[in-house]
Amino acid sequence: MSTINFAAREINFKVVYYGPGLSGKTTNLKQIHTHVPGESKGEMVSLQTEDERTLFFDFLPLDLGKVNGFKTRFHLYTVPGQVFYNASRRLILRGVDGVVFVADSAPNRLRANAESLRNLRENLAEYDLSLGELPYVIQVNKRDLPDALPLDMVRAVLDPAGRVPLFEAVAQSYQGVVEPLKAVSKLVLEKLSQKA
């Protein structure tokens, strides 16, 4: 959950990019880090073991303004895509304020998208959280694939009620990368203001 640094007059939020392996989570973070102005971001850190990798960095979004005189700092994380790294995935979700679920548009990845979303729900339950109470958005990545799944099919599997903001993206070329981050950031700040 958000933490307040009174000395720096900052509120810190944690946003996790979650989704199946190779869906584009790391590409999103690298693209965001590349495009955020240098003075507004921290160093990108990669925690790498033999088989898995987790990336994170923090940044001060300039366009979100201040909350009660405090700057907002967002810490962005990716999780390892493969479900057999579930312990790492669960650990990274500790203290999460918002999630960008990165879905893969490839036709053979529909089941992987659904399984990853189910895994996200299970891991959040370990912290007594649910997607219904947590700010989250869905980014449907790799929309440039010639055989990309129809968007309504992806929505039917991941959000049949149609309540979650959904964004199309081609993260490799920085298309649709900023919009989901801005949307989840706004939802996180709205949730904070409801608590106040």
Q: Over 60: is that where the pLDDT of 62 sits? A: no
Kindly report, residue by residue over 23-58, the tens digit of the pLDDT: 999 899 989 989 988 888 888 888 766 655 566 766
pLDDT of amino acid 60: 67
Q: CB of 79 within 8 A of CB of 20?
A: no
Distance of CA 11 to the CA centre of its chain: 18
Q: Which of 66, 69, 31 is nearest to 173 (CA)?
A: 31
Q: 2, 15 in Cβ contact below 8 A? A: no
Q: Judge residue 78's burial from the number of C-beta atoms within 10 Å of its C-beta, 0-12 exposed, 13-18 middle, 19 or more buried.
A: buried
Tally of domains within the chain:
1
Q: Domain range spanning residue 78?
A: 3-195
Residues 6+ apart with CB under 8 A from 30: 44, 55
- Give the pLDDT score at 38: 80
For residue 53, give the CATH number of its domain.
3.40.50.300
How far apart are alpha carbons 29 and 139 in whole angstroms?
Answer: 13
pLDDT digits (tens, 9 = 90+) for 86-112: 888 898 999 999 999 999 999 999 999
String of DSSP letters for 102-146: EEE-SGGGHHHHHHHHHHHHHHHHTTT--TTTS-EEEEEE-TTST
